[in-house]
Structure 1
Amino acid sequence: MCGRFATTLPPDAMAQLFEAAPANDLPPVPNYNVCPTNQIHTIHTEAGARRLTSMRWGFLPHWYKATNGGPLLINARAETIAEKPAFKAACRERRCLIPVSGFYEWTKDEEGARLPWYIQPAGEGPLVFAGVWQDWERDGEAHRTCAIVTCAANDQMAAIHHRMPVILGPEVWGKWLGEEGKGAATLMTPAPEGALRFYRVDRAVNSNRASGPELTCPIE
């Protein structure tokens, strides 16, 4: 799964990288502790053009009567996304890209304490997650919402967690966004071995109120 991440790429750099027109209400960067229900940067295709927009991280199906009207859906499992009522329409019609600098995952020590790890690309550039999105409106309150698509971990990532985000390379961004016909389902696979690197970071990130670049610094 993915429950926390960092974003440091400036919006103008995102707009250039994805050839997307940026919205005016994008969340501030850098943010080293992006949490569920935060507004995040996403890229989707609308009317034949790519848009860089802000979405609420936490997918809201249309039948939720309030933002807390059901489970918080921050991830969508690749294996069942096409069948789940919450996600199946979005999987066909509303896919997005979610650029991040890195993400956090946790293991536990012998006493059960949560030990955070920071996972980032082994090479240059951001990680780009596969996402799905949904507009939600109820009683005058409206949100554009999204979830990160996850798959079984590759062997490298399995040392930390059995799930990982679906990570997309530039060569398939257009296909995931629906710009190049069908075939998006074939992209929901683990990242190649060696595509990521990870290391332990301070337990300060266990708090969703923590902030600052030190959260991503390695510890001994």
Structure 2
Amino acid sequence: MAKRVAFFAGKESVENYFNLESNRDNIFQPHYNLSPGQHIPIVFRKDGELTIERVRWGGEAAQDTTVRAKEAVDDLSSTGMIKCVVPLSGFYVWKDDKEKGSPFFVRMLNEPLMAVAGLFDEKNGFFKMVTQPSNVLINPMSETMPLLLDQNLSGKWLDDKSESDVSELIDEAKSLFLLTDLSVLRVSEKVNDPSNNNEKLVQPIPK
């Protein structure tokens, strides 16, 4: 699964993607090596309006960082969590899900950002990323990957009044992107150290 992510999409790109406005520029501070426990921008509905805030990734328990897609529907109905979208620039994966050795950075090829389905626990101030079984491109490194949304499906996911059932949205998302929509490139092992944070971390290393 994605244990590290990067966010360096510009303010304008995020606002245009979600059709929202924010006067808090600090929300869009780039970070190239985010781990669970750190605060990441998420988009959600507050009092009926789309808003973006930095929220802690994961709760107190280690398993609170992600939720499998098949369990997300139950979490929404039983825990009081609400749907959110996490606008990332990409995520890192390691062979056998071990955060050592050679990391790879996964990003979208033709999208301004990578929109990931999430669940937000507003009461306790944290969110989880929804995951799905990895496609054949990611599977050699990780059995699961974030549930990716496009701009249209992000809108449906965030629409409390949407007629689409959550399970239907999840099924639609699972088959949304082709393998050719994603880029998976080996990057520097410096990303293995969570304290490292610079744009060189996402640059592919020469073969």
Q: TM-score scaled to structure 1, two decimals?
A: 0.81
Q: Residues 187 and 156 (structure 1 numbering): CA distance in 2 closer, same or farther, change over 3 Å?
A: farther
- Amino acid in structure 2 at the alignment position of 1:187: L
Shift of 1:145: 1.1
User: Whose helix fraction is larger, Structure 1's or Structure 2's?
Assistant: 2
Q: How does 1:104-119 map to 2 (within 5 A)?
A: 104-107=92-95, 114-119=101-106
Cα 1:113–1:131 shift into 2, 3 Å: closer
- Corresponding position: 1:202 with 2:188: yes
Secondary structure of residue in 2 paired with 1:114: coil
Which SS does the other structure have where 1:80 is aligned? helix
Structure 1 residue 210 displacement after superposition = 0.6
State the distance in 2 between where 1:113 and 1:5 align: 15
Seen in structure 2, the aligned counterparts of structure 1 residues 169 and 214 have a Cα distance that, compared at 3 Å, is same
Superposition deviation, residue 90 in structure 1? 7.3
> 8 Å contact 2:105–2:202 — kept in the other structure?
yes
The CA deviation at 1:17 is: 2.2
1:5 to 1:165, Cα distance in 2 relative to 1, 3 A: same
One-letter identity of the residue aligned with 1:166: L
Superposed displacement of residue 11, structure 1 = 2.7
Amino acid paired to 2:36: P
Cα shift at 1:179: 4.2
Distance between the aligned counterparts of 1:74 and 1:90, measured in 2? 17
- Cα deviation for residue 193 of structure 1 reads 2.4
Q: What is the alpha-carbon distance in structure 2 between the residues aligned to residue 41 and residue 113 of structure 1?
A: 26
The offset of 1:10, in angstroms, is: 2.3
If you compute each CA radius of gyration, which structure gives the higher value, 1 or 2? 1
In the alignment, is the contact (CA less than 8 A) between 2:41 and 2:55 conserved in 1? yes
- 1:103 aligned to 91, 105, 118, which one? 91
Number of aligned residues? 199
Match of 2:167 in 1: 185
**Matched-pair identity in %:** 23
Please give the root-mean-square deviation of Cα atoms over the aligned residues, in Å.
2.3
Post-superposition offset of 1:183: 2.2
Match of 1:64 in 2: none
- How far apart are residue 172 of structure 1 and its match? 1.1
Instruction: Give yes or no for contact 1:9–1:30 (8 Å, CA) kept in 2.
Output: yes
- Amino acid in the other structure paired with 1:116: P
Unmatched tracts of structure 2, length 5 or more? none
SS of residue paired to 2:70: coil
TM-score by length of 2: 0.85
Tell me what 1:154 maps to: 135
Residue 113 of structure 1 deviates from its aligned partner by 5.0
